[in-house]
Amino acid sequence: MNPIQPVEEGEALKSIRIFGFAGSLRNGSYNKLLLRAARELLPNDAQLELFDLDGIPLYNQDTEVHGIPESVKRFKEKIESADALLIATPEYNHSYPGVLKNAIDWASRPYGRNSFKDKAVAVISATPGAFGGVAAQDQLKQVLLAVNTHLVVTPAVIVASAHQKFDQQGNLTDEDTKQFLTGLLSNLTEQARLLASRSKPTVENITIRENR
How would DSSP label each residue in 57-123? PPP-HHHHHH---HHHHHHHHHHHH-SEEEEEE--BTTB--HHHHHHHHHHT-STT--TTTT-EEEE
Average pLDDT of the residues in 126-146: 97
Q: Which of 196, 182, 186, 190 lies closest to 82 in space, CA to CA?
A: 196
Helix axes 134-146, 98-107, angle to 10 degrees: 10
Instruction: Tell me: pLDDT of 139 over 60.
Output: yes
Q: How many helices (H) and strands (E) does the chain have?
A: 7, 5
Q: Which of 156, 50, 143, 155 lies closest to 105 in space, CA to CA?
A: 143
Burial of residue 196 (number of CB atoms within 10 Å: 0-12, 13-18, 19+) = middle
Residue 14's pLDDT is 79
Q: Per-domain residue ranges for the chain?
A: 15-211
Instruction: Tell me: pLDDT of 203 over 60.
Output: no
pLDDT band of 210, cuts 50, 70, 90: very low
8 Å CB contact between 180 and 155: yes
pLDDT digits (tens, 9 = 90+) for 4-36: 333 344 444 579 999 999 999 999 999 999 999
> DSSP letters of 133-169?
THHHHHHHHHHHHHTT-EEEEEEEEEESSGGGTB-TT
Amino acid, res. 178:
K
Backbone dihedral angles phi then psi of residue 202, each to the nearest 5 degrees: -110, 165
Question: Rounded to a whole number, what is the distance in angstroms from the first to the last CA of the chain?
Answer: 20
For residue 156, count other CB atoms closer than 10 A to its CB: 15
Residue 13's pLDDT is 52
Residue 45's pLDDT is 94
pLDDT digits (tens, 9 = 90+) for 173-201: 999 999 999 999 999 999 999 999 987 65
Instruction: Tell me: pLDDT of 108 over 80.
Output: yes
Report DSSP state, residue 51. Answer: E
Instruction: Tell me: pLDDT of 204 over 50.
Output: no
Q: Which CATH architecture has domain 15-211?
A: 3-Layer(aba) Sandwich (3.40)
